[in-house]
Structure 1
Amino acid sequence: MTEFADNVRQAAVAMRALFPATPMQRNAHLSAKYDADIWLKREDLSPVRSYKLRGAFNAMSKRIAENPDQQLFVCASAGNHAQGVAFVCNRLDRKGVIFMPVTTPQQKIDKTKVFGGEHIEVRLVGDYFDDCLRAAQEFCAAEGGQFLPPFDDPDVIEGQATVTMEILDQMPRVPDRIILPVGGGGLSAGARAYLNALNADVHLNFVEPKGGASLTAALEAREPVTLNKVDTFVDGAAVARIGANTFSVLSDTAPQDVLLATEDGVCTTILEMLNIEGIVLEPAGALSIKVLDDLRDEIRGQTVVCVSSGGNFDFERLPEVKERAQRYLGLKKYFILRLPQRPGALKDFLGMLGPDDDIARFEYLKKSARNFGSVLIGIETKSASNFERLFGLMEEAGFVFNDITDDETLVNFVI
C-alpha cells in the first residue's frame, strides 16, 4: 500500500469518531432500467448531507496536529463546505468564522449555524462568491486564522478519497465503474489518486454540469482556466476554475471519460429519484445518476457505483425543478401566438387542444397591430408528440406563433 492510500485509511479511521461510513446501496430501479448492477454511494446521508465534511475534517485535523495552538479556522462557502467546516469546528472544539455571500439562501445559513453551534460565526459579505472569498482571506491574514479551501488542498483531497476507500471496502466485489461529479475536483482527484495507489482496475467517469465544465476546459487547455460564465443552478458543482492541485491529479483524464449533464436534464433525475425512490438529491448529487442515460450501452452488464454526493435540496426550488424537467422532456412549451382580433378566434384555437393538453399559462401581452393581439401561452401535455399534432393544426389554420421554450433570454424574462 502506498503512503497516500495508507494516509487515506488512517483518515477514515479517525472520521469514525465523528460519523459512520455512509451506506452503499444497490438500487433495483436503476439496475432494471439500465440492465446493469447499479449501486449508490449515499454521501447524501452523511451528518451534513454531503461528503464535504470529510475533507474539512482531514485538513483541520492535520493543521491542529502541526500546530496544536491553532484555534481559529476560516472558510468561504455558500453551501456544503460551510456546513462541513461548521460541523468539524463543533466536534473539534475550535472557533470557525464562515464567510457566505449576502445572497445565500437563509436555509443554508441556518443549517450552517445549527451544525456549528456556539463554535462558529457566520459573516455575510458581498453579492458574489469572489467578494466573499476575498474577505475571508483578508480576515485570515489580519487575525492569524487558518484558511480551509473547499477542494484545492492536498489534505482535502486525501479526506475526500475516503469515499472511494469505503466504496471498495463495502462492495461485495470490485466495481467495473465509478461515476462521480466534478466541481473543483477534490472528490474526483481523491478517487483517481486512491485507485492509482492501489493499482485498482476500475473505470472512472467524471460528470460536470454543462454550465460549469471547468475540468473539460482545463483538459482542452492542458491547464486550469477560468470560465467566462457559469450557470450556478448545479451549485454544488458549478465552479469557474478547477483547482491546481486537483487538476495535477486529473490532467491525464481521457476527454471521453468526462461527461456533461444539462441543468434541465439534472432536474428530471432529481424528480425521478424523489418520486420513485424517495431519495432527496441536490442538483450536484444527481449528476452521476443522470449520465447513466449517456452510458447505457457501455454499462450494460457492469457493476456500477454512482456517488450521490449531496442531498441539501431546498424544497422551495421544487417548482423550478419541475418546470425545467418538463421543458427538457418536451412536455411543456411556451409560445407567443399572434391571435386575430375577431369573434371565435380564441375558440378556434382552444378546439385544437387534445384531451391531454392543459393550459398552464395564458397572458394577453399587447396589440401588435389593429387586427391582431399577442398572447403568451404555456401548454403542458402527457406526451411530447402531442405538440407536433397541435402545431400542425395551428399552421393549417393559419395561426402565426413563435415557440420560445428554448429561448433562454425570453423564458427567463416572461416565465
Structure 2
Amino acid sequence: MSSFLAAARSATEALRGLFPATPLQRNDHLSARYGAEIWLKREDLTPVRSYKLRGAFTAMQRVRATDPSQGHFVCASAGNHAQGMAYACRHFGVRGTIFMPVTTPQQKIDKTRMFGGESVEIRLVGDYFDRTLAAAQGFCGEAGARFLSPFDDEDVIQGQASVAVEILDQLPVAPDLVILPVGGGGLAAGVTGVFAESAPTTEFRFVEPLGGASLAAAAAAGEPVTLKRVNSFVDGAAVARIGERPFARLKGIAAKDIIAAPEDRICITMLEMLNVEGIVLEPAGALSVDALPELAGVIRGRTVVCVTSGGNFDFERLPEVRERAQRYAGLKKYFILRMPQRPGALREFLAMLGPDDDIARFEYLKKSARNFGSVLIGIETKAAANFADFTRKMEDAAFAYRDITDDEALAEFLV
C-alpha cells in the first residue's frame, strides 16, 4: 500500500471517532431516468452537512500529533470550511480564529459559531475574500497560529480522500464512473488518488461552475491560473484559482472530462432534488447530479457515483433559485415594453396572453414620450414554446418590446 493510500485509510479510521461513514444510496429516480445504476455519496449528511469536516479534522489531528503545543488554528472561509474547522476545534479543545468577509450572511456566521462554541472566535474582515484571506494569514504570523487551508494542503487532501475509501468499502465492486464537484480541487485530488491505486479502471468526470471554471483554465494552461472574474452563486465551488497541490495531482486529466455547469441550470437540479427526492443540496452540492444530462449517452448501463458534496442551503435563497431555474428553462421572461398611452391599450395587451401565461411583474418605468410609456413586465408560463406565440402577437399588434431576460446588466438592475 502506497503512502498516500495508507494515509487516506488512516484518516478514514480516525474519522470514525467523529462520525460514521456517510451513506452511499442508490437513487431510483435518477437510475430509471438514465438507465444506469446511480448512487449518491451523501456528503450533505456529515455533522456539518459537507465533506469539509474530513480535511479540517485530519489536518488538525496530524498537526497536533507532531506538535502537541499547537493549540491555535486559523482559517479564512465564508462557508463549509469554516464550519468544518469550527467543529474540529471544539472536538480537539483548541482555539480557532475564523476570518469571514463582512458580507457573509448571518446564517453562516451563526452556524459556524454553533459548531465551534466557545472554542472559536469569528472576525469579519473585508468585503471580498482576498482581503479576508490576507488578514487571516497576516494574523497567523502575529499570533503564532497554524493556518488551515481549505484545499491546498496535503493533509487536507488526504482527509478528503476518505470519501473514496468509503465508496470502495460500500460498493461490492468499484464503480464505472465517479462524478466529482470541483472548487479548489482538494476533494477531486484526494478521491482520484485513492482510485488510481485501488480501482484504476474507474473513470472520472469533474464538474465546476461555469462562472468559476478554474480547473479547466489550469488544464488549458498546464498550471493554475487566476480567473479574472468569478460568479459567486455556487459559493462552495466558485474559486478563482485551483490549489497548487490539488492541481499537481489532477494535472493529467483530459479537458473532455471537465464539465462546466451553468449556474441557472444548477438551480433546476436543486429544485428537482428537493421536490422529487426531499434532498436539500447547496449549489456546489448539486454539481455532480447536474452533469448527468450531459453524460446520458456515457452512463447508460453503467454504475455511477455522484458525490453530493454539501447541503448548507439557506432557504431565504429559495426564491432566487426558483427564479433562476425558471429563466434557464425558458418558463419566465422579462420584457421592456413600449406601451401606447391610449384607452384600451392595456386591455389589448392582456388579451395577447395565453391560458397558461401569468404576469409575475408589471411596473411602469417611465413615460418616455407623450404617447408612450416604458413598462417592465415579467411573464411566467407552463411551456417555453408559449413565448413564441406571445411575441408573435405583440409584433402583429405593433407593440415594440425588448427581451431582457438574458441581458445580465439590465436584468440585475431591473429584476
The TM-score normalised by the length of structure 2 is: 0.99
Worse-superposed segment, 165-174 or 46-55? 165-174
Structure 1 residues 345-369: Cα deviation after superposition (integer angstroms, max 9, x where no partner): 1111100111110000000111222
Task: Give the 4+ runs in structure 1 shifted more than 4 A.
Answer: none
Residue 379 of structure 2 is aligned to residue 397 of structure 1: no
Worse-superposed segment, 189-198 or 159-168? 189-198
Q: Which amino acid aligns with 1:133?
A: L
SS at 1:188's partner residue?
A: helix
Residue 318 of structure 2 is aligned to residue 318 of structure 1: yes
Alignment match, 1:208: 208
Q: For 1:60-99, list aligned pairs within 5 A.
A: 60-99=60-99
Pick closer, same or farther for the CA change 1:77–1:217 going to 2, 3 Å.
same
Verify the 8 A CA contact 1:152 1:186 in the aligned structure 2: yes
Q: Which amino acid aligns with 1:353?
A: L
User: In structure 1, what is the Cα distance between the partners aligned to 2:105 and 2:336?
Assistant: 33
Alignment match, 1:45: 45
Alignment match, 2:237: 237
SS at 1:74's partner residue?
A: strand
Verify the 8 A CA contact 1:340 1:371 in the aligned structure 2: yes
User: In structure 2, what is the Cα distance between the partners aligned to 1:7 and 1:373?
Assistant: 68
User: In structure 1, what is the Cα distance between the partners aligned to 2:143 and 2:334?
Assistant: 54
User: In structure 1, what is the Cα distance between the partners aligned to 2:129 and 2:174?
Assistant: 39
> How far is the alpha carbon of 1:173 from its aligned partner?
2.3
Alignment match, 1:268: 268
Verify the 8 A CA contact 1:365 1:376 in the aligned structure 2: yes
User: In structure 2, what is the Cα distance between the partners aligned to 1:241 and 1:209?
Assistant: 13
SS at 1:295's partner residue?
A: helix
> How far is the alpha carbon of 1:41 from its aligned partner?
0.2
Verify the 8 A CA contact 1:2 1:198 in the aligned structure 2: no
Residue 12 of structure 2 is aligned to residue 9 of structure 1: no
Alignment match, 1:283: 283
> How far is the alpha carbon of 1:124 from its aligned partner?
0.8
Alignment match, 1:303: 303
Q: Which amino acid aligns with 1:244?
A: E
SS at 2:391's partner residue?
A: helix
User: In structure 2, what is the Cα distance between the partners aligned to 1:199 and 1:410?
Assistant: 50
The TM-score normalised by the length of structure 1 is: 0.99
CA RMSD after TM alignment: 0.7
Q: Which amino acid aligns with 1:176?
A: D
Structure 1 residues 146-188: Cα deviation after superposition (integer angstroms, max 9, x where no partner): 1100000111110000001111111132111000100000000
> How far is the alpha carbon of 1:198 from its aligned partner?
2.1
Verify the 8 A CA contact 1:4 1:197 in the aligned structure 2: no
SS at 2:236's partner residue?
A: coil
Verify the 8 A CA contact 1:178 1:305 in the aligned structure 2: yes
In structure 2, stretches of 5+ residues that fail to align are none
Alignment match, 1:191: 191
Residue 185 of structure 2 is aligned to residue 169 of structure 1: no
Q: For 1:373-392, list aligned pairs within 5 A.
A: 373-392=373-392
Alignment match, 1:327: 327
Structure 1 residues 97-142: Cα deviation after superposition (integer angstroms, max 9, x where no partner): 1111111111111111111111111111111111111111111101
Verify the 8 A CA contact 2:174 2:199 in the aligned structure 1: no
Q: Which amino acid aligns with 2:78?
A: A
User: In structure 1, what is the Cα distance between the partners aligned to 2:334 and 2:110?
Assistant: 37
Alignment match, 1:105: 105
Q: For 1:13-28, list aligned pairs within 5 A.
A: 13-28=13-28
> How far is the alpha carbon of 1:199 from its aligned partner?
4.7
User: In structure 2, what is the Cα distance between the partners aligned to 1:411 and 1:216?
Assistant: 28
User: In structure 2, what is the Cα distance between the partners aligned to 1:15 and 1:57?
Assistant: 8
Verify the 8 A CA contact 1:59 1:159 in the aligned structure 2: yes
User: In structure 2, what is the Cα distance between the partners aligned to 1:362 and 1:33?
Assistant: 38
Aligned-pair identity (%): 66
> How far is the alpha carbon of 1:200 from its aligned partner?
2.4
